[in-house]
Amino acid sequence: MARMKFLCDADRCIECNGCVTACKNANEVPWGVNRRRVVTLNDGEPGEKSISVACMHCDDAPCAAVCPTDCFYTTTDGIVLHDKDLCIGCGYCFFACPFGVPQFPEQRAFGSRGRMDKCTFCAGGPEEPGSQAEFEKYGANLIAEGMLPACAEMCATKALLAGDGDLVAEIFHHRSTSRDGRPQTWGWATAYGAGLS
């Protein structure tokens, strides 16, 4: 089975927020909830780079580890999903997730947040695939239709890649080794010195 992965190529991302929009549209995410976001580092300075972030579908997911009701599960494709019927909206997953992914539709008195919502890799949730109930709770199930997540499909510069981890890695490997300029591999300068480009 494929192991699904997202990868954002920071050298290509132009912060158009097309992925964010595609996600909101495909999944009809409520107001205030964003399953994906683009973060720009060094905004307006030389070396400015943008990175699109959503759920990374962790192997050993911190969100799943802290959930009091144990409502997360990982599909055979390595996609981390959760069951909104079991979620109690405690917010622990948001505090545990390194990427700040879990989102809550409410902000009310006594810390009432509503049930958690997060990126599903466009794979729906624990309902009949393609059903209305699934769409209302979790959004589109493009994976069941043999498609890939809407965000990556939308990406105009092909910065955001989604799909089988091996394939994504191969594409990125090809890009990063054939791109001119200094090697972009993280840690290259530390290991070999930045002069050795």
| Site for other proteins, rule CB under 8 A | 10-11, 15, 17, 20, 34, 37-43, 46-47, 49, 51, 53, 62, 65-71, 83, 85-92, 94-100, 103, 107, 109-112, 181-190, 193-195, 197
56 vs 189, beta carbon nearer ligand SF4: 56
Determine the 3-state secondary structure of 160 from DSSP: strand
146 vs 193, beta carbon nearer other proteins: 193
Residues contacting residue 143 through CB under 8 Å, at least 6 positions apart: 77, 79, 121, 122, 123, 124, 149
Helix (H) or strand (E) holding 169: helix 165-178
Q: How far, in Å, CA of 118 to CA of 45, rounded? A: 32
77 binds ligand SF4 (CB under 6 A): no
Radius of gyration, CA atoms only, the chain: 18
Helix (H) or strand (E) holding 174: helix 165-178
Partner whose footprint covers residue 10, from ligand SF4, other proteins, none (CB < 5 to 8 Å by kind): other proteins
Find where tokens 């006594």 sit. 110
Q: How far is the CB of 115 from ligand SF4 (least distance, A)?
A: 6
135 binds ligand SF4 (CB under 6 A): no
- The residues facing 41 across adjacent strands are 49
Q: Which stretch binds ligand SF4 (CB under 6 A): 37-45, 81-89, 142-150, 168-176?
A: 81-89
Q: How far is the CB of 11 from ligand SF4 (least distance, A)?
A: 23
58 binds ligand SF4 (CB under 6 A): yes
